[in-house]
Copies of this chain bind each other. A is one copy, B any other.
Amino acid sequence: MKNVTIGIDIGGTSTKYGLTDRDGNIYFQGEISTQQFNEFTDYVKALSDKLREELSGLKVHLLGIGVGAANGNYYKGTIEHATNLKWKGIIPLAELLKQEFNVPVLVTNDANAAAVGEMVYGAARNMKDFIVITLGTGLGSGIVCNGHLVNGKHGIAGEIGHTTVNYAGRYCNCGKRGCLETYVSATGIKRTVYKLLADHLEPSELRGVSFEDLDTRMITDAALRGDIVALAAFEYTGRILGTKLAETVVHTDPEAIFLFGGLSLAGDLIFKPTIKHMELNLMPIFRGKVKVLPSGLQNQAAPILGASSLVWNYLEEKESREIQLLNN
């Protein structure tokens, strides 16, 4: 029987799930609504029923379940005070799923899951020191040092999105002002387009689009057509990201920084200014040493792979620890 793990990615609107093996082959994948459930326990029940239905008949050995969710706490297996979910307070997710399937359940935030996914299945398979930056609605990050994900003392490491670009800058959901993610994210680049449209006189096809309708894809397409404001928005975003990455790099000296998610699909438009301004601002001994690369998991299944990778990583680390304990 094939060893497999379940990966679950909980978003505010919908939850994606899938079954994978150690090589990243996907046996099934699907989706249920997250927001239709008023009670968290009903949600877990419905999700579990769905998974059992998909599993039935498959000749596999389920080793564990990995979950990526905003505000997921790895140490406690909980989701804590997530602003994108209707269930408030601290949700004991791992405990409830363990009752349903009686296998190890690992929970972490989506950016940490992306980092472990990059190590287990992606472009960081031979790396011990790297960082993944996820560019979605916000900016998440997962840091790997010495081959291990950095969770930190309180399980909340990797919040590079909340370092400060400008102390009197844009308002952030976290309660501060001028955080990196208010500039560098799908929402950040929209805010930048609107700022540039306000500050400058240049014509732009984006002048006809409302803030609510504007998205990264439209800005990318406009830039590719040579729209001066869209191009300036990418330059502005890359300058801020690159300048900030120069600060991050001197902390943990990574081999590479991977960009993942919507904004990173814009290719040279975002990579070129990012790399240029990172190099310009780096402490000289680091220059030319740190690669900035697209994630190796740029596909539909990435969130499922990221979540399921938590289980493989957990089991492989556990095996090492047990061998040590047996011999001490």
Contact = CB atoms under 8 A, between A and B. Distances in A.
Could you say which of A152, A176, A254, A289 has the most chain B C-beta atoms within 10 Å of its C-beta? A152
A162 B246 CA distance: 10
Could you say which of A153, A160, A281, A289 has the most chain B C-beta atoms within 10 Å of its C-beta? A153
A63 to B, nearest CB: 19
A155 interface: yes
A143 interface: yes
A251 B158 contact: yes
Could you say which of A148, A163, A254 has the most chain B C-beta atoms within 10 Å of its C-beta? A163
A95 interface: no
Interface in A140-159: 143, 145-146, 148, 150-159
Copies in the complex: 2
A328 B143 CA distance: 27
Contacts of A174: 283-285
A148 B146 contact: yes
A175 interface: yes
Contacts of A281: 164, 167, 176
A255 B159 CA distance: 15
Nearest to A246: B164
B252 A143 contact: yes
Nearest to A255: B153
A157 B250 CA distance: 6
A253 interface: yes
A283 B159 contact: yes
